[in-house]
Amino acid sequence: MVGFRVPQVARRRAGCVQVRCGVLIDEYQRSKAYKNIFSAGVCVAIPPVEATPVPTGAPKTGYMIETMVSAIVHNIKDELAGQPVTTKATWNAICLADMGDTGAAFVALPQIPPRNVNWFKKGKWVHLAKIAFEKYFMRKMKNGTPEPIYEKYVLKALGIARLIR
Protein backbone atom coordinates (compact mmCIF):
# COMPACT_ATOMS: atom_id res chain seq x y z
CA MET A 1 0.00 0.00 0.00
CA VAL A 2 1.33 3.42 -0.94
CA GLY A 3 1.43 5.92 1.92
CA PHE A 4 -0.14 9.36 1.73
CA ARG A 5 2.07 12.07 0.28
CA VAL A 6 1.66 15.79 0.75
CA PRO A 7 1.16 17.67 -2.56
CA GLN A 8 4.44 18.53 -4.26
CA VAL A 9 3.84 22.29 -4.05
CA ALA A 10 3.89 22.06 -0.23
CA ARG A 11 6.81 19.59 -0.14
CA ARG A 12 8.98 22.09 -2.05
CA ARG A 13 8.57 24.71 0.68
CA ALA A 14 11.21 24.45 3.40
CA GLY A 15 9.73 24.05 6.87
CA CYS A 16 6.21 23.48 5.56
CA VAL A 17 5.88 19.70 5.90
CA GLN A 18 7.23 16.64 7.65
CA VAL A 19 8.26 13.98 5.15
CA ARG A 20 5.25 11.73 4.44
CA CYS A 21 3.41 13.12 7.47
CA GLY A 22 1.70 16.30 6.36
CA VAL A 23 1.70 20.05 6.76
CA LEU A 24 2.95 21.39 10.09
CA ILE A 25 0.14 23.70 11.26
CA ASP A 26 -0.60 26.19 14.01
CA GLU A 27 -3.80 26.28 16.08
CA TYR A 28 -5.60 28.12 13.23
CA GLN A 29 -4.94 25.35 10.64
CA ARG A 30 -2.23 27.45 8.91
CA SER A 31 1.23 26.29 7.95
CA LYS A 32 3.72 27.29 10.62
CA ALA A 33 6.14 28.39 7.89
CA TYR A 34 3.70 29.97 5.39
CA LYS A 35 0.65 31.65 6.90
CA ASN A 36 -1.17 31.68 3.54
CA ILE A 37 -1.21 27.85 3.36
CA PHE A 38 -4.02 26.13 5.26
CA SER A 39 -4.34 22.40 5.82
CA ALA A 40 -7.07 19.97 6.90
CA GLY A 41 -7.69 16.25 7.20
CA VAL A 42 -5.06 13.81 6.00
CA CYS A 43 -2.85 16.73 4.90
CA VAL A 44 -2.20 17.70 8.55
CA ALA A 45 0.89 16.40 10.33
CA ILE A 46 -0.61 15.18 13.60
CA PRO A 47 2.03 13.58 15.81
CA PRO A 48 1.32 9.98 16.82
CA VAL A 49 -0.31 9.57 20.22
CA GLU A 50 2.23 6.91 21.16
CA ALA A 51 5.14 5.02 19.61
CA THR A 52 4.17 1.83 17.77
CA PRO A 53 6.27 -0.91 16.09
CA VAL A 54 4.86 0.21 12.74
CA PRO A 55 4.81 4.01 12.32
CA THR A 56 1.24 5.24 12.03
CA GLY A 57 -0.39 8.62 11.95
CA ALA A 58 -3.23 9.69 14.20
CA PRO A 59 -6.66 8.69 12.87
CA LYS A 60 -8.88 11.39 11.42
CA THR A 61 -12.67 11.17 11.41
CA GLY A 62 -15.13 12.96 9.15
CA TYR A 63 -16.43 15.21 11.93
CA MET A 64 -12.89 16.11 13.01
CA ILE A 65 -12.09 17.09 9.42
CA GLU A 66 -15.32 19.13 9.25
CA THR A 67 -14.16 21.10 12.30
CA MET A 68 -10.81 21.76 10.59
CA VAL A 69 -12.41 22.93 7.34
CA SER A 70 -14.95 25.11 9.17
CA ALA A 71 -12.13 26.84 11.04
CA ILE A 72 -10.21 27.36 7.79
CA VAL A 73 -13.24 28.95 6.10
CA HIS A 74 -13.74 31.39 9.00
CA ASN A 75 -10.03 32.23 9.12
CA ILE A 76 -9.72 32.85 5.37
CA LYS A 77 -12.81 35.09 5.58
CA ASP A 78 -11.17 37.02 8.45
CA GLU A 79 -7.89 37.36 6.53
CA LEU A 80 -9.68 38.65 3.41
CA ALA A 81 -11.47 41.23 5.60
CA GLY A 82 -8.13 42.34 7.07
CA GLN A 83 -8.99 40.92 10.50
CA PRO A 84 -6.77 38.67 12.62
CA VAL A 85 -7.65 34.97 12.49
CA THR A 86 -9.34 33.78 15.69
CA THR A 87 -11.17 30.52 14.93
CA LYS A 88 -9.79 27.16 16.06
CA ALA A 89 -11.07 23.68 15.25
CA THR A 90 -12.06 21.56 18.25
CA TRP A 91 -10.77 18.32 16.67
CA ASN A 92 -13.65 16.48 18.35
CA ALA A 93 -14.37 13.02 16.95
CA ILE A 94 -17.72 11.36 16.35
CA CYS A 95 -17.63 8.09 14.44
CA LEU A 96 -20.03 5.36 13.35
CA ALA A 97 -17.89 2.54 11.96
CA ASP A 98 -19.94 0.01 9.97
CA MET A 99 -18.62 -3.56 10.06
CA GLY A 100 -21.15 -5.53 8.06
CA ASP A 101 -23.94 -6.63 10.40
CA THR A 102 -22.45 -4.83 13.37
CA GLY A 103 -20.44 -1.72 14.07
CA ALA A 104 -18.70 0.47 16.59
CA ALA A 105 -19.53 4.01 17.66
CA PHE A 106 -17.27 6.36 19.53
CA VAL A 107 -17.07 9.93 20.70
CA ALA A 108 -13.72 11.43 21.71
CA LEU A 109 -13.60 15.05 22.86
CA PRO A 110 -11.04 16.04 21.66
CA GLN A 111 -9.77 13.20 19.51
CA ILE A 112 -6.15 13.68 20.57
CA PRO A 113 -5.49 12.93 24.29
CA PRO A 114 -5.85 14.19 26.94
CA ARG A 115 -9.59 13.77 26.44
CA ASN A 116 -12.52 15.23 28.35
CA VAL A 117 -14.90 12.57 26.97
CA ASN A 118 -14.11 9.06 25.76
CA TRP A 119 -17.19 6.94 24.88
CA PHE A 120 -17.40 3.68 22.90
CA LYS A 121 -20.22 1.20 22.15
CA LYS A 122 -20.63 -1.60 19.64
CA GLY A 123 -23.52 -3.60 18.25
CA LYS A 124 -25.98 -4.09 15.42
CA TRP A 125 -27.60 -0.73 16.24
CA VAL A 126 -24.45 1.03 14.95
CA HIS A 127 -24.86 -0.63 11.54
CA LEU A 128 -28.46 0.64 11.39
CA ALA A 129 -27.46 4.07 12.71
CA LYS A 130 -24.76 4.33 10.02
CA ILE A 131 -27.29 3.61 7.26
CA ALA A 132 -29.66 6.25 8.69
CA PHE A 133 -26.81 8.75 9.06
CA GLU A 134 -25.65 8.24 5.46
CA LYS A 135 -29.19 8.99 4.20
CA TYR A 136 -29.40 12.05 6.48
CA PHE A 137 -25.95 13.29 5.46
CA MET A 138 -26.62 12.96 1.72
CA ARG A 139 -29.97 14.75 2.10
CA LYS A 140 -28.46 17.71 3.95
CA MET A 141 -25.63 18.00 1.39
CA LYS A 142 -28.09 17.90 -1.54
CA ASN A 143 -30.12 20.62 0.18
CA GLY A 144 -27.01 22.75 0.76
CA THR A 145 -27.35 22.79 4.55
CA PRO A 146 -24.10 21.33 5.91
CA GLU A 147 -24.98 22.22 9.51
CA PRO A 148 -28.74 22.45 10.08
CA ILE A 149 -29.74 24.46 13.13
CA TYR A 150 -31.28 21.44 14.89
CA GLU A 151 -28.02 19.46 14.42
CA LYS A 152 -26.03 22.33 15.87
CA TYR A 153 -28.26 22.50 18.97
CA VAL A 154 -28.39 18.71 19.50
CA LEU A 155 -24.59 18.51 19.40
CA LYS A 156 -24.36 21.55 21.68
CA ALA A 157 -26.71 19.86 24.17
CA LEU A 158 -24.37 16.83 24.11
CA GLY A 159 -21.38 19.10 24.77
CA ILE A 160 -19.94 18.71 21.26
CA ALA A 161 -18.73 21.91 19.58
CA ARG A 162 -17.32 22.38 16.08
CA LEU A 163 -15.30 25.56 16.65
CA ILE A 164 -13.51 27.54 19.34
CA ARG A 165 -13.81 31.29 18.91
- pTM tops 0.85, yes or no: no
**Residues 43/65, Cβ–Cβ less than 8 Å:** no
Tell me which of 45-49, 71-75, 112-116 is least confident. 45-49
Given pLDDT bands bounded at 50, 70 and 90, which one contains residue 30?
A: very high
Smallest CA-to-CA distance from 146 within 162, 127, 160, 125 is with 162
Residue 41 one-letter amino acid: G
Give pLDDT, residue 57: 67
Average pLDDT over residues 19-36: 85
Mean pLDDT score across all residues of the chain: 86
- On the question of pLDDT at 13 being above 70, the answer is no
First to last CA, the chain: 39
